[in-house]
Amino acid sequence: MATQYGAYTGKIIKIDLTNQTVEDYPFTDKERKLFLGGKIMAAKIIYDHIQGKIDPLSPENLIVISTGPLNAMGSPCSSRFNVSTISPLTGYYTSSNCGGNFGLNLKRAGYDAVIITGKAKERTYLKITDTGGVEFKNADHLWGLKSGEAQEKMEGKGGKFVIGPAGENLVRFACVVSEERVAGRGGVGAVFGSKNLK
């Protein structure tokens, strides 16, 4: 959806791991103004989808990876991004902020945010190309690897964001890693693992 605000790309995608589908997710300029920034945008998206108690490790849970309006704008310390979900550690909404190069590359690929739903039938990782395409890739060869090893073996040279064995084994305080930077709050890594997403 187009935007009048130059700090946004105007595009959010929703990825359904269960059915391996990708669709645009509508988010208006009015919403961008009311819910300014990636973290609050993600809270709005999760609120719109989840009202009431759910099992954080069920396919019903969402992961929203979002960038802020200053990301990729050349501002100091602005290449950070957020990972938001319902926490397996607390059962409530959590948002974990991360450095590394994933957020910058996500914005350069044309996305303000990615919403991940469902659960993959097999171990999977997602490849988002620099032209904005999304590919579902088999992750059997990455499963069991620590986050650094997995990043080295993944296709592509852009930003990477992965879980290690803790996330795969649903440890409720597991992290997700981009380069050597960590989204470590609330057990977001376990939610990735519950979705068979490396």
Judge contact between 14 and 27, C-beta under 8 A.
no
What pLDDT sits at residue 66? 97
- Closest to 19 (Cα-Cα) out of 64, 59, 66, 49: 59
From first to last of its 198 residues, what are the pLDDT tens digits of the chain? 689 988 899 999 999 999 999 999 999 999 999 999 999 999 999 999 998 999 999 999 999 999 988 787 777 777 789 999 999 999 999 999 998 889 989 998 999 999 999 999 999 999 998 777 899 999 999 999 999 999 999 987 889 999 999 999 999 999 999 999 999 999 999 999 999 999
CA separation (Å) from 164 to 43, 88, 92? 26, 17, 23
Residue with tokens 């097999």: 122
Question: Which tens digits make up the pLDDT trace of 111-161?
Answer: 999 999 999 999 999 999 877 789 999 999 999 999 999 999 998 788 999
Predicted TM-score (pTM) of this structure: 0.95
Closest CA to 14 of 130, 134, 129: 134
